[in-house]
Amino acid sequence: MDFAASESRGYTHKPNDLRDVEYKCLIKITGGDGQNTASISGPTGHHTSSNCCQGYSYMFNFSYTDNTPVFRFRKEMWHVSYHSLPEFTDSRVNFKISGHGYIGIGYVRYNKKDGRSAGHDSVILEGWFNPNPTADIKNWFMIKRIEDKGGWGDDGNDCNGLKDQVGTWGGEHFRIKSNDSNADFTIKHLSLREIDPSLSFGDPGPDPTEPPPTTEPPTGTTTIQGFFRFQQDINQARTSPCAGSTPEPGGSGGSGGLSKFYSFPPDNQKELSETDTWQRRTRITERVGNSTSTFAGKIIKQVDIPLMKAGNPASSPTVRVKIYSSGGSIIYESPTQIDPSTLTTSFVYKTFDFSTNTHVMVVGDRIGVQYGGTSDTNYVIAGYIGQDVLLATYYEQYEGGTGGSGGTWEGKSRELAMDVWE
């Protein structure tokens, strides 16, 4: 992303990207580690790697474990480069938010025409609060308003902009975020409204002394449709705070970066156990068959596998998901381990975290599920779809092998059932 280009055209992704907005929610917070704050922010863009210019965003932060909450405005010039303004408090917010019940937090962001100079807008940011929306939904007050006219930040030139770049463009992502693994967040209501900052609440409308318009005004309402995505992050040891929020199995991607590129639900099942009954099958994978494969060039960040059990397998060995080279060596294995005794007798998607994986999939690589149990009555079952749609090549591996074929990989015309995210 190029700041100069984004500022010139007024948006990053599409001409109708949101820019001037009122973003509010009613949120209840319990617990907290005392080290993290929450933020409401935007617009921003997809960003997963270091020094990513699409990470540009304005933020309104608030603490929730302090007896007197602390607020601040931040600018993320790029990912990750934060520039924070001085913290402040408000005498009307004189209680600890965590454990208080629902509060309202609001964020308003809009351009002020010619705010810097003729033809160069500034950006207005406002932080809003409602101490008890359950009792009075109308009791919103503005905590602080600031104006970015420049002089805030010093490294925007890394993205072909001014060092103190003012983010006057629209974008497609707006976020509510915290990195706190010890707090629970419940959102009851959420709204993202596009606003016209040239108007005011006291606008009297047309002058009654003027003649009426020659054409009738439009009637009815217009619906603008969009999507909110709610995610649960399973990774509490993220090396990059913005490396992508982990979506729930079957979800639709993460605001911070994850997107699903491979998805097949099971319509058949295959047993995993190193016994003659099940051909000593311990691995089922998808192989990158050629450079046009769906997996080619991907850095996998999460895999969701439908698993179930037969009988009562022991807690060990565990079920793993791994990436193998064309020679069969392990390139990466998810730190997630599934205890087979906790599986049910029907398919349930289990999430395997790949957030620290940096390997780019190349032709010959395989990714799949592995289980090394040795019982023909108590074992793990993985799902597959009984057709080959040429996205990758399905393979099974047999440990001891049948007829002396130990370690053999055998290709099949089918697809391993799983959801894979990058």
CATH superfamily to which 3-194 belongs: Exo-inulinase; domain 1 (2.60.120.560)
Contact 97, 62 (CB under 8 A): yes
Higher pLDDT, 261 or 129: 129
Contact 351, 291 (CB under 8 A): no
Contact 73, 90 (CB under 8 A): no
- 200: burial class by Cβ within 10 Å (0-12, 13-18, 19+)? exposed
- If phi > 0 it is left, if psi is from -120 to 50 it is alpha, else beta; for residue 101 that is left
Peptide bond into 80 cis (omega under 30): yes
Question: How far, CA to CA in Å, does 254 sit from each of 242, 248, 258, 302, 363?
Answer: 11, 9, 5, 11, 27
The rounded distance, in Å, linking the Cα atoms of 173 and 58 is 12
Residue-level pLDDT at 211: 64
- 161: burial class by Cβ within 10 Å (0-12, 13-18, 19+)? buried
- If phi > 0 it is left, if psi is from -120 to 50 it is alpha, else beta; for residue 356 that is alpha
Residue 203: other Cβ atoms inside 10 A: 8
Strands (E), 246-375: 260-264, 268-272, 281-287, 302-310, 320-324, 330-333, 348-353, 366-370
Judged against a pLDDT cut of 90, whether residue 207 lies above it is answered with: no
Judged against a pLDDT cut of 60, whether residue 230 lies above it is answered with: no
pLDDT tens string 309-350? 999 999 999 999 999 998 889 999 999 999 999 999 999 999
Residue-level pLDDT at 382: 95
Average pLDDT over residues 288-299: 87
The rounded distance, in Å, linking the Cα atoms of 128 and 173 is 20
Domain residue spans of the chain: 3-194, 260-421
Q: Kindly indicate the confidence band of residue 236, based on its pLDDT and cuts at 50, 70 and 90.
A: very low
Judged against a pLDDT cut of 60, whether residue 378 lies above it is answered with: yes
Identical topology for domains 3-194 and 260-421: yes
Q: Can you give the C-alpha Rg of the chain in angstroms?
A: 26
Residue-level pLDDT at 156: 95
Residue-level pLDDT at 396: 73
Q: Count how many residues are written for the chain.
A: 422
The rounded distance, in Å, linking the Cα atoms of 289 and 277 is 30
Q: DSSP assignment of 64-95, as one string? A: SSSSS--EEEEEEEEBTEEEEPPPB--TT--S
The rounded distance, in Å, linking the Cα atoms of 174 and 80 is 17
- 408 has which bridge partners? 398
Residue-level pLDDT at 264: 84
- Please state, for a pLDDT cut of 90, what percent of the chain lies above it: 63
User: Looking at 51-55, 66-70, 215-219, which range is the least confident one?
Assistant: 215-219
DSSP 12: S
Tokens of 197: 């900052």
Q: Check: CATH 2.60.120 for 260-421?
A: yes
The rounded distance, in Å, linking the Cα atoms of 5 and 290 is 36
Handedness of CA 43, 58, 175, 179 (dihedral sign): positive
DSSP 276: G
Query: Of the spans 44-48, 197-201, 302-306, which averages the highest pLDDT?
Result: 302-306
Q: What is the 3-state secondary structure (H, E, C) of 90-131?
A: CCCCCCCCCCCCEEEEEEEEEEEEEEEECCEEEEEEEEEEEC
The angle at the Cα of 250, spanning 417 to 50, to the nearest 5 degrees, equals 100
pLDDT tens string 353-372? 999 999 999 999 999 999 99
Q: Kindly indicate the confidence band of residue 228, based on its pLDDT and cuts at 50, 70 and 90.
A: low
Pinpoint the alpha helices (H) of 28-180. Answer: none
Average pLDDT over residues 45-69: 91
